[in-house]
Structure 1
Amino acid sequence: MKKDRLFYSANLVGLTVFLYLMLSTLLRGALSLFLAVYQPGAALHNPVGLPELLIQLLNLACSVVNLGVPLWLLCRTMRPLNVRIPHAKVPRKQLLTALPIFLLFTTLCTALANGLRIVLDKGGYSVPEAAQLPSGNLALFFCFIATCVVPAVGEELLFRGGIQQLLRPWGDWFAILVTSFFFSFLHHDLSQLPSIFAMSVFLGYVAVVTGSVRASILLHFANNLSSFLLLWARQRLDATNLLGLSILLFAIYIACGLFALLQLRRVGLLRPLARYTVPKNQMGRWERLLYAPICSFTALLLILTTVMEYFR
């Protein structure tokens, strides 16, 4: 570790992401097995004959454990390195400026994902189906917590607060790009891969510029809330009202986002990030990252599992 701290940090990142991936697989497999015993033929992705509230509570518990365990272990390992999750208070002007710009940005990313989905669909790629929201109010509430609140808080603390912060000594853009690679490939959806990567870069940039994960948590939550609202509308409203709501949200995002873009420099959100110069006669950052075996193995595993989804 003392000879090459990047080598150590890269392996720690790879181990954290691998733990997240394996824990997700094991938890969902164990829960599906439990549900099959409770109700023959049922599974977590096919909860036939099971109470909605039970399914949502299990999903919520799965999300909390899946994010909480890697985050807890990463934080414990980061302490000896004197690395802390940045959580300073963010000026209100910066938040009110970043939020509409991010919603505008996510709207464009969604359009990109939909276009790519059409192209991949012609090539035989089966796009993952959108989740079905429960009909009961209490079950819907826990579904909202599991899909909007927990990922926004947990993923930002783990990726932007932990992994990105751990890699920042070797350059802000380096840390943002590496973090975004792992974050996007963990979603295992080729059609959304470019858009999720782009959104992750945006969130990483905001976290660095503001010096806090509070801003990225708020932006992440706003994106999840917007998606949740549209999914709810798609299942509850008729085609005319759904189209009207979609156009209204799109118009609001465009208008507010364009106005906020004019305020970027004034509120301090537009500035260059710290650079890192590799000393002479030393291997470059990306080469050292690739030579870290756990990091490289995890990256390769994520790429293979994502590509395999295309041929399913």
Structure 2
Amino acid sequence: MGKFEHNISLSEGRSPLISLIVVLLLAFSGFQAIGPLIGVLLTLPFFDFNFMQAMEVLSNPVGNEEAKMPIFIIQGLASIIGFIVVPLLYLRFIEKKPLHIFFNSVSLGTVPVFLLTFIVLAFMFVNSIFIEWNANFKFPESMAGLENMLKSLEEAAKTQTEFLTTFNGFSQFFLAFVVIAVIPAIGEELLFRGFVQNLLIRISGNIHIAIWVAGFLFSAFHMQFYGLVPRMLLGVLFGYLYYWSGSLSTAMVAHFINNGFTIIMMYLYQQNLTSLDVDTEESLPLTFLLILFVLFLGLIYFYRNFFLKHKTIG
């Protein structure tokens, strides 16, 4: 039998922990400050807002239909700057390495894409049990203040998300698809699997610790406690898909399938073209979940063996 190996040498001659902290802080600054500022400045000439009005709309867009398009543009630019531009600049000027270190020579052919598609779809339904559990998590009475604060933040985020993902026309759906499905699939995987996971391998010396901690950081970065566990598990899945294949493209495709399927199904549901509501927090019947879980394990087994066989032959 062969084995999977990761030999991506990031942070050579430097502390991998310091490198991890620096790249996360730079990405966070790009996503939360630099990217949104550039986005606001670029959208102002095209929309009927001044700078202060734009900042006010950004903080509370709900109910302002005209704000949807500029908000999507600003969010897209924030993601591009924070998750793609900043990591690539770090890779080029700090690590002094090419982008292709995250990608091996295995082509992403029909079999891997087929497996990735059904792995992600099966996992999405299996993960619904953790979505329901996390959404209904109860704190001890002594932590009621923290629980109320987190629930308030969650409700505000949910209200804003529902507003932004209620599509009034195909143009809004298409822009949302690019901003929510395409850009994060590339950027978040580049940052959290490409950089964070590989740096954590150097720090811990253990691939499984690296994958789980990277999954936690990926989820924590979204700052939504009541979605922390299911999003962490999704990040862990992406981490193992990347580890077994040796190519970041597999994690990017899996991430795209997850987000893209969700956005498409939301749009179809709003158009009354499907009765499946992917936005629900309720899990599926247990029998159905068990069948999907067994299917998911089987697909994972074939996926892992597909790349293991390739490495052994190679």
Could you tell me the TM-score, scaled by structure 1's length? Answer: 0.69
**Worse overlay, 181-190 or 146-155:** 181-190
Q: 1:192, CA displacement in angstroms?
A: 1.1
Alignment-derived partner of residue 89 in structure 2 = 73
Q: How far, CA to CA, are the matches of 1:58 and 1:244 in structure 2?
A: 26
Judged with a 3 Å threshold, the aligned counterparts in structure 2 of structure 1 residues 157 and 245 are, in CA distance, closer, same or farther, namely closer
Q: How far, CA to CA, are the matches of 1:193 and 1:137 in structure 2?
A: 31
Q: 1:257, CA displacement in angstroms?
A: 6.5
1:46 matched to 2:60: yes
1:223 matched to 2:258: yes
Judged with a 3 Å threshold, the aligned counterparts in structure 2 of structure 1 residues 270 and 258 are, in CA distance, closer, same or farther, namely farther
Please give the secondary structure, in 1, of the residue aligned with 2:213. helix
Q: 1:226, CA displacement in angstroms?
A: 2.4
Q: How far, CA to CA, are the matches of 1:81 and 1:147 in structure 2?
A: 27
1:149 matched to 2:182: yes
Q: 1:17 aligns with which of 24, 28, 49?
A: 24
Q: How far, CA to CA, are the matches of 2:59 and 2:261 in structure 1?
A: 23
Contact persistence 2:130–2:230 (CA under 8 A): yes
Could you tell me the TM-score, scaled by structure 2's length? Answer: 0.69
Q: How far, CA to CA, are the matches of 2:187 and 2:99 in structure 1?
A: 21
Q: Number of aligned residue pairs: give it.
A: 265
Contact persistence 2:201–2:207 (CA under 8 A): yes
Please give the secondary structure, in 2, of the residue aligned with 1:116. helix
Q: 2:101 aligns with which of 77, 84, 88?
A: 84
Q: 1:167, CA displacement in angstroms?
A: 3.7
Q: 2:297 aligns with which of 255, 258, 261?
A: 261
1:185 matched to 2:220: yes
Alignment-derived partner of residue 208 in structure 2 = 173
Identity of aligned residues (%): 20
Please give the secondary structure, in 2, of the residue aligned with 1:241. coil
Judged with a 3 Å threshold, the aligned counterparts in structure 2 of structure 1 residues 83 and 234 are, in CA distance, closer, same or farther, namely closer
When the two chains are superposed, the root-mean-square deviation of aligned CA atoms in Å is: 3.8
Alignment-derived partner of residue 129 in structure 2 = 111
Q: 1:176, CA displacement in angstroms?
A: 1.3
Q: How far, CA to CA, are the matches of 1:230 and 1:271 in structure 2?
A: 31
Judged with a 3 Å threshold, the aligned counterparts in structure 2 of structure 1 residues 177 and 6 are, in CA distance, closer, same or farther, namely farther
Q: 1:177, CA displacement in angstroms?
A: 2.5
Q: How far, CA to CA, are the matches of 2:131 and 2:278 in structure 1?
A: 21
Please give the secondary structure, in 1, of the residue aligned with 2:102. coil
Contact persistence 1:101–1:257 (CA under 8 A): no
Contact persistence 1:113–1:195 (CA under 8 A): yes
Q: 1:241 aligns with which of 262, 266, 275?
A: 275
**Worse overlay, 135-144 or 179-188:** 135-144
- Residue type of the partner of 1:262? G
Contact persistence 2:186–2:252 (CA under 8 A): yes
Please give the secondary structure, in 1, of the residue aligned with 2:127. helix
Q: How far, CA to CA, are the matches of 2:299 and 2:71 in structure 1?
A: 44
